């Protein structure tokens, strides 16, 4: 998949350093995207993510470097939930919106899901704005849906339908 500035494709073993720097070791990302923090790159293992069918690298087209990840969870063949994380040094440049918009197209048109959902920790207005810019609308709210980083977290869900 491509956009004007990005390529969205399979995660490779050679992405280890970029994945570590932009996802697993970025504490700001950890606050907004559910992932495991890794302190030392020696402890980083990208093997479970390499060539995984539902998880992709978000790369800068001009360099090929991984700046984030995007994935979907197939609920039942009818709907999926997407998640995404972009390294904090790339925030505020529209990369999230660009990647999510293209990924929603992929899920609706190529994977043939009828509905795509996404959620954000309540209060994360940046993710809310990304979803809105991609045509998603408020779907529902779940209070204390999960415990993450030792805190009960509320999640707000947005969705978009194929039609």
Per-residue pLDDT, 97: 97
Instruction: List the CATH number of the domain containing 81.
Output: 3.40.630.30
Query: Which of 126, 119, 125 is CA-nearest to residue 146?
Result: 119
Per-residue pLDDT, 12: 95
How many CB atoms sit inside 10 A of residue 139's CB?
A: 15
**How far is it, in rounded angstroms, from Cα 96 to Cα 40?**
26
Q: Is residue 36 part of a domain?
A: yes
Left (φ > 0), alpha (ψ -120 to 50) or beta: where does 138 sit?
beta
**How far is it, in rounded angstroms, from Cα 128 to Cα 48?**
29
Q: Is residue 66 part of a domain?
A: yes
Cβ–Cβ under 8 Å, residues 159 and 131: no
User: Is the confidence at residue 135, as pLDDT, over 90?
Assistant: yes
Per-residue pLDDT, 115: 96
Q: Is residue 69 part of a domain?
A: yes
Q: Is residue 1 part of a domain?
A: no
Q: Is residue 124 part of a domain?
A: yes
**How far is it, in rounded angstroms, from Cα 124 to Cα 67?**
20
Q: What is the pLDDT of residues 9-60, one digit of tens each?
A: 999 999 999 999 999 988 888 778 777 788 999 999 999 889 788 999 999 9
Range of the domain at 20: 6-161
Per-residue pLDDT, 156: 93
Domain tally, the chain: 1
* 4: Cβ contacts below 8 Å, ≥ 6 apart: 61, 98
Per-residue pLDDT, 32: 80
Per-residue pLDDT, 29: 81
Q: What is the pLDDT of residues 89-116, one digit of tens each?
A: 999 999 999 999 999 999 999 999 999 9
């Amino acid at each position: 998949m491509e956009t004007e500035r990005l390529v969205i494709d399979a995660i490779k073993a050679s992405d280890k350093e970029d994945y570590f720097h932009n996802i697993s070791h970025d504490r700001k990302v950890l606050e907004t995207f559910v992932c495991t923090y890794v302190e030392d790159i020696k402890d980083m293992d990208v093997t479970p993510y390499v060539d995984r069918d539902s998880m992709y690298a978000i790369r800068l087209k001009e360099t090929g470097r991984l700046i984030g990840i995007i994935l979907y969870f197939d609920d039942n063949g009818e709907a999926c939930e997407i998640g995404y994380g972009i390294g904090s040094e790339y925030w505020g440049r529209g990369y999230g919106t660009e990647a999510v918009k293209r990924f929603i197209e992929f899920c609706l048109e190529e994977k043939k899901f009828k509905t795509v959902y996404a959620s954000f920790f309540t209060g994360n207005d940046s993710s809310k704005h990304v979803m809105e810019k991609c045509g998603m609308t408020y779907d529902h709210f779940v209070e204390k849906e999960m415990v993450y980083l030792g805190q009960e977290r509320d999640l707000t869900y947005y969705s978009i339908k194929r039609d």
